[in-house]
Chain A
Amino acid sequence: MKVHRAVKPVLSIFLALLIGAAVILLLGENPVTVYGVMFKGAFGSTNALAGTLVKTTTMIFVGLSYGFAYKCGLVNIGIEGQLYMGGLLCSLTAIYIELPPIIHIPLCLLAGFVGGAAWGAIVGFLKTRFRASEMITTVMMNYVAIFFVSYMVNGPIKAEKGTYPQSEPILKSAELPTLIPKTQLTIGFLIAIAAIVLYVLFWKKTAVGYEMEMVGSSEQVARYAGIPVDKIAIWSMAVSGGLGGLAGCMEVLGVQHKIMEGLSAGYGFDGIAVSLLGNNGGIGIFLSSFLFGIMRYGGNAIQMFTKLSVAVIYILQALIILLVVVDVFKRSKRREQHVCH
């Protein structure tokens, strides 16, 4: 069964690429060329590979974010907003507080985590206190966060020089040190790997993780077992939001070195696909983050060198999600089960 579990996502990706190829063909482009351009854009040079890993870093955090809430039975479609609020708090800390790097960077990360966590906790609170469906509140909170950041960078924290709606650059002491000089690959990638390890340990080794998973699999059973379900749901949304906030930190401290409108190109929504494809496991999330890093970074090349827009990767992404959840490969198995009973 272990093999089957590992093979299924690969088949899903393969089928998605195949259907995607048919779509690209219908759009009047050569799929081999388009995929080739994407592949070269993602791996063609040291710079390209670094760029791919930078996107992988962001993908890891949004994937962990969705996975964390999902394991507790919650659907977090609000990662985009949490990313923005995390990015905002992180950049405020990075711009206006002067500290040596060894303290400054962790403090910025903490601020980003808190920003996203607060945004997520509101959703958890509304859900437990008022039974407000998180599927709607998270989406609405996205818009509120994006508008709020837009307000901030157009008004209170707008850079004095220049006309663009963006903040002052962050202080040098808050910039993440690079791993490969002259590229954007920073220690953020290592922080993301560490986050995956912590994520796995949390679910495998801690009592809280066990309780959260129990709430996720059956709220009723968890209630009978005396687990404080409401408190756990709020915490789970908070941590999920915090991880989304860290994705914002990676963009601010590692890539943009400031905050502006359009900080995220919809990365928050990628988290859903990353987590589902990776089956919420550590290695799974890492691999699917890498795949989405390739698509995200290589996707830019598609826009540059072909007629297609970068939006074509959304089609691939949606197909992957659908093929994973629709589970075309499970059908025959289900029939067998019926025979058994």
Chain B
Amino acid sequence: MSVIESFLSVVFNSSTSILFAALGILLMHLSGVVNIGAEGMMLIGAFSGVVGSHLTSNVWLGGLFAMAVTGVVGLVYGYCTITYKANQVVVGIAFNILAQGLTTTLYRIVFGMNSSTMKVDAFSKLGAFSTPVYVGLGFVIVMTVFLNKTKPGLKVRGAGEYPQAIDSMGISVNFTRYASVVAGSMIIGFGGAYLSLGQLSFFTENMTDGRGYIALAAVIFGRYTALGTWLAVLVFGAGEALTYRLQALNSGVPSQMILMIPYVLSIVVVAFFGQKGSGPEALGIPFSKDGRQ
């Protein structure tokens, strides 16, 4: 029993950062904006979360600070992709590279070279799980209701599915997209902060290790619904938990082969469950009133 319990606890604890990132990506994608840059946004969230928590000695303020910073990052992302209509994939890649450069450089300047010993206030546990795990679960429900039952939620989906219709109703497609991008980025940023303040309690260079991309795979696997995304994230969480367990077991399987599991899993998942048809119709297409790009 305790084996199963501890396994589940690892599944939930380790998948929560990906869950937040995936829900943020989901919001952006549903509004019609592709976000390959989640990896970088998470990294910036992870970094600014540690900085905020260090400065305020309060982990929740650290999380808020991370959200504020990634919100600004999202605004810039929107400016490039919505206002300037730049290629969304390339902008996303550029944001990942930028985040890597900025966080690595800033980290060495703010904290010096040997700072893994530095203590920051981290998320405390509530029962078996760290507190944000519960927040994440609640957020799945909030997102489901928001996207299906509320007017703003329907606007978001309309902007991604059939922007011309939204526009003809007198609603600004680009404003809706901006709002989704900024809010989505903030959620992704919190996922990053959970990585550095919940799962671990420090920042290391490039600590996201592809989680932003895994979150993207989860959104596709989850068929662009909040509930589906959550289930997909749990599958990846189980993959990660399996990684830890196999490593601890000393099974004789080379550790590198074990560490590959989450990545191989996401290739398989995207290949077998990622048919393109399930995405929003206008995903990745900038909106102009005259229909031209």
Contact = CB atoms under 8 A, between A and B. Distances in A.
A131 B106 contact: no
Given A75-B89, A132-B270, 13 more contacts: A77-B36, A133-B274, A141-B267, A143-B210, A273-B97, A276-B90, A307-B108, A307-B109, A315-B101, A318-B95, A325-B86, A328-B84, A338-B290
A144 B102 contact: no
A169 B94 CA distance: 36
Interface string B221-247: 000000000000000000000000000
Contacts of B259: 147
A325 B94 contact: yes
Interface stretch (A148-156, A212-220, A242-250): A148-156
B264 interface: yes
Interface in A275-312: 276, 307-309, 311-312
Interface string B260-292: 100110110011101110000000000000100
5 contacts: A77-B36, A140-B264, A147-B259, A272-B93, A315-B105
A319 interface: yes
Interface of B: 36, 80, 84, 86-87, 89-91, 93-95, 97-98, 100-102, 104-106, 108-109, 205, 209-210, 213, 216-217, 220, 254, 256-257, 259-260, 263-264, 266-267, 270-272, 274-276, 290
Interface of A: 27-28, 75, 77, 126, 130-133, 135-137, 139-141, 143-144, 147-148, 150-151, 154-155, 269, 272-273, 276, 307-309, 311-319, 321-322, 325-328, 331, 338, 341
Contacts of A150: 256
Contact of A147 (B256, B271, B272): B256
A308 B274 contact: no
B257 A136 contact: no
Given A140-B210, A148-B256, A318 B84 contact: no
A338 B291 CA distance: 12
Nearest to A330: B84
Interface of A is mostly: helix
Given A27-B106, A308-B105, A325-B86, A143 B274 contact: no
A137 B94 contact: no
B98 A315 contact: yes
Contacts of B220: 133, 136
Contacts of A307: 108-109
B105 A312 contact: yes
B216 A321 contact: no
A155 B101 contact: no
Determine which residue in B80, B95, B97, B257 has the highest number of CB atoms from chain A within 10 A of its CB, and name it: B97
Given A148-B256, A313-B101, A322 B91 contact: yes
A144 B205 CA distance: 20
Contact of A321 (B93, B205, B271, B275): B93
Contacts of B94: 318, 321-322, 325
Contacts of B290: 338, 341
Nearest to A303: B108
Given A136-B266, A139-B213, A322-B80, A312 B101 contact: yes
Contacts of A133: 220, 270, 274, 276
A314 B86 contact: no
B102 A315 contact: yes
Contacts of B275: 130-131
B104 A314 contact: yes
Contacts of A338: 290
